[in-house]
Amino acid sequence: MKRTQKVKPKEYKEIKYTEPQLIAFFDSVGKLPVQPLVNKVAFYADSVFKDFIKPMSRQLSATDFDLLKRAIKAKRINARMAKQIFGEFTADSNCNMNGLFDSVKKGYVYLKIYPFIRNKNRYDEFAVSVADGWHCLGAMIYYFRGSKIIAKQEFSRDATEPEYFTNTDGENIVYATYEFSRGSGVWWYNYFFYKYDGDKLIPVLNELGNGNVQGSWIGRVIWLDATVERTNPLTLKMVYYNQFVKEDRTSWGPMVINDSTLVSYKWDEKSRKLIGQYEKSKISKSQILSYYLNDNDFLFIKSFHEPLKKALNDKENRPLILRYLTNVKAYQDTAGR
């Protein structure tokens, strides 16, 4: 079952601070160790990532595998056959149409294959979606290695269809985006990467795809958008910026951060992970995490301490940043940490 995290406005109590108090607070956050802040901010998304694709071990008979191939060609499957092949049928029994269009035979749901081709064999490593995830509750994606089902995931509008590339060690990595939050001027989704490892899919990388708040409740306007630039090696292009909200709460001050960079990822055999080569880019892992939409103001202040310190010397930005610091400190002083 999908776990959601609601992003709601923080409630700040009106507290007056002097400028020296706010600057002292700003500098004290800048001296905090970064790793505990990183761990706190990353925990929720990482826990979803590790549990998103669930392991299975179901070996199909030659007869059932042939039935599946026929169903894939027909692009549909009925409940009885789905239960026989997958051991379950979780889609809503009334979901026997492609959305509002009666283009699937009554009693059947859509079936779609996603081949991850390495050896010109579409049935070597592949995934199959059962039912239309945009319209059907309980739609699923099953991952195969040959005739064996090795993993499954819930398929819904909160995740994109799986894509793949071949890793430097010759094994396939599949990936999709997972949406954590969406609203008016708010969006947060991550890229989830999993690697074929024998008869398993193992989690190898969880990275921000888009962190975006264009509203005023957070006190700052943030945007980070990551796109897959290339896959050999895996490289994401990240475009990111930050502004602060003006007193009218409808407009923003000058850009404090406005940049783009490429981040490449190297396969590490020892840890069995894709490791970001952040030291070769203009953004760090902690800075990326500061664009998550959970409680990350301390991490933001810590990670971008130097550009924020420079922006405090700007006549237009200084009062905006001080008001933001007032909100963060007031929240800390009233809610505690």
State yes or no: pLDDT of 10 exceeds 70: no
What b/e string do you get for 70-89 counting C-beta neighbours within 10 Å, with b at 16 or more?
ebbeeebbbeebbebbbeeb
Residues 182 and 210 in one domain: yes
Q: Considering the domain boundaries, does residue 200 fall inside one?
A: yes
Q: How far apart are CA 222 and CA 243, in angstroms?
A: 7
Mean per-residue pLDDT, 247-275 = 93
Query: Is the predicted pLDDT of residue 132 greater than 90, yes or no?
Result: no
Residue 68 lies in a domain: yes
Residue 90 falls within a domain, yes or no?
Answer: yes
| Residue 126 CA neighbour count, 13 Å, CB half | 20
Whether residues 142 and 275 share a domain: the answer is no
Please check whether residue 4 lies inside any domain of the structure.
no
Question: What is the SS3 assignment for 269?
Answer: coil
Of the residues 90, 113, 146, the one at which a domain ends: 146
Return the higher-pLDDT residue of 183 and 7.
183
Q: Are β-strands 273-276 and 108-115 bridged in parallel, bridged antiparallel, or unpaired? A: unpaired
Question: 98, 121, 146 — which closes off a domain?
Answer: 146
Report how far residue 38's alpha carbon sits from residue 336's, in angstroms, rounded to the nearest whole number: 18
Residue 88 domain boundaries: 61-146
Q: How far apart are CA 3 and CA 131, in angstroms?
A: 21
As for how many domains the chain has, the answer is 2
Q: Pick from 132, 233, 224, 240: which is nearest to 187 by CA?
A: 224
Lowest mean pLDDT among 118-122, 181-185, 258-262: 118-122
pTM for the model stands at: 0.90
pLDDT in tens, 198-212: 999 999 999 999 999
Task: For residue range 288-330, list pLDDT tens digits in order.
Answer: 999 999 889 999 999 999 999 999 999 999 999 999 999 899 8
Instruction: Tell me the three state secondary structure of residue 162.
Output: coil
Give domain status of residue 39, yes or no: yes
In this structure, is residue 9 part of a structural domain? no
176, 285: one domain: yes
Last residue of a domain, one of 100, 116, 146: 146
What is the band of 103 on the pLDDT scale with cuts at 50, 70, 90? Answer: very low
Residue 327 in domain: yes
Give Cβ neighbours of residue 100 (< 8 Å, ≥ 6 apart).
none
